[in-house]
């Protein structure tokens, strides 16, 4: 199946799950509890997370827990040449909606990528091996080429699709937390 078709299918599956909030919340709790008890979270002091859209895994769960545990939390800003930079956020950070429809921190200080211990990578479709299809901009594919640290994705079972051809530029995340 083509990535465009898979992306549409993945979005439809995520929106179906959004229409079943009890199930979505249950899956988010299962995934987040598994993550919070995993060394990749426990040992990380600086964690990069995106601000989720309504149909995605609710990353507010991670933000709350991270601040509660005293972790430094970062969010990406999409820059020129489709490059991500990461910026420190706090509960007081102000966000603005981009042309892509995502919220990014406004006036937040940039942090060196080398200081990031864990990147929670978003996606729409995943294989069990950690390959992913995102929204199509290639931002995370470019980033993952350079980043050598710990990566994971928080995945609903509805997002798993094995019947697609991985391309040479596709890079897997190291860990999937699935429910």
Q: Over 80: is that where the pLDDT of 100 sits? A: no
Tell which CATH classification among 3.10.180.10, 3.40.50.10420, 1.25.40.10, 3.30.530.20 matches the domain 3-178: 3.40.50.10420
Encoded tokens for 61: 């769960």
pLDDT-derived band of residue 82, with 50, 70 and 90 as boundaries?
Answer: confident
Q: What is the pLDDT of residue 168?
A: 87
Q: What is the pLDDT of residue 116?
A: 98
Encoded tokens for 20: 């079943």
Residue 56 assigned to a binding site: yes
Residue 3 assigned to a binding site: yes
Residue 31 assigned to a binding site: no
Q: Angle at Cα 112 formed by Cα 155 and Cα 67, nearest 5°?
A: 55
Residue 51 assigned to a binding site: no
Residue 126 assigned to a binding site: no
Residue 177 assigned to a binding site: no
Residue 101 assigned to a binding site: no
Exposed, middle or buried by CB within 10 Å (0-12, 13-18, 19+), for 136? exposed
Q: Over 80: is that where the pLDDT of 58 sits? A: yes
Domain boundaries, the chain: 3-178
Q: Is pTM, for the whole model, over 0.85? A: yes
pLDDT in tens, 137-160: 889 989 999 999 999 999 999 999
CA atoms within 13 A on the CB side of 167: 9
């Amino acid at each position: 199946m083509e990535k465009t078709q898979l992306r549409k299918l993945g979005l439809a599956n995520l929106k179906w799950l959004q229409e079943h909030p009890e199930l979505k919340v249950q899956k988010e709790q299962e995934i987040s509890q598994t993550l919070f008890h995993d060394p990749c979270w426990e040992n990380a002091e600086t964690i990069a997370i995106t601000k989720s859209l309504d149909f995605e895994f609710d990353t507010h769960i991670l933000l709350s827990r991270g601040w509660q545990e005293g972790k430094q939390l970062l969010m990406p800003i999409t820059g020129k040449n489709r490059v991500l930079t990461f910026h420190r956020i706090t509960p007081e950070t102000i966000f603005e909606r981009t042309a892509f429809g995502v919220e990014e921190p406004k006036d937040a200080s940039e942090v060196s990528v080398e200081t990031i211990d864990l990147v929670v990578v978003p996606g729409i479709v995943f294989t069990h091996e950690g390959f992913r299809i995102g929204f199509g901009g290639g931002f995370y594919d470019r980033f993952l080429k350079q980043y050598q640290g710990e990566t994971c994705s928080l995945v609903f079972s509805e997002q798993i699709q094995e019947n697609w051809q991985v391309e040479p530029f596709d890079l897997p995340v190291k860990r999937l937390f699935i429910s």
